[in-house]
Structure 1
Amino acid sequence: MRRSMGRLGLAIAAAFAFTLVPAPASAAPVEQDCVAATSVDNLHVRTGPGGSFDSLGKMQPGVDYEWNCLYIGGELYTACGVTDDIWLGIWFHDQWGFAAAACLH
């Protein structure tokens, strides 16, 4: 079941007191569906924006996952050749989770 991306994304961010980072000018507006995929094996989707949060499972490489169109500031990570603190809210196994933005396209 799909849910409203804008309100739910903001509610998630407010509940955990995350920092929302403005999307680049080329990113889709919040009103549109956004899709993210990974080509990386074993990318965890976490319950919060950081490696210290529990894992909900691992994304399958090349599979498209719905995301909430927001870039969320969280814990610093080093993955996929970069160090960053930007996470994406991913719809994963019928719930929202977070994945390292640097590993998604």
Structure 2
Amino acid sequence: MAFGIKRKELEGWKAAVARGEIAFLTHYWLDPRFPDMRTVTKVGCSDRVKLSRWCLDNGLNPRYIHDRSEYPHFDLLGPKQREVLRAANLLEQLERFGMA
């Protein structure tokens, strides 16, 4: 279950993904499979080759790209999530979701 984002943010992420940009969307998240995780960052891009390259460049396995919809994305969790957000200079997302 996702929460903590506004429709405008989600629509902006979807538009960026559809344009083939690497786009980040962080939100609060509850999933019983990951009881210690409170947030997830979805890194999306409609250009699957570009998204796969992004995963490899960041030490992530592109096998875990969620490719079930028109918005392919990789879910970042835990320490790697914070590391990638810092490297992308997305400090607002770190602060807003209590990961700073």
Alignment TM-score, normalising by the size of structure 1: 0.31
Q: Which is richer in strand? A: 1
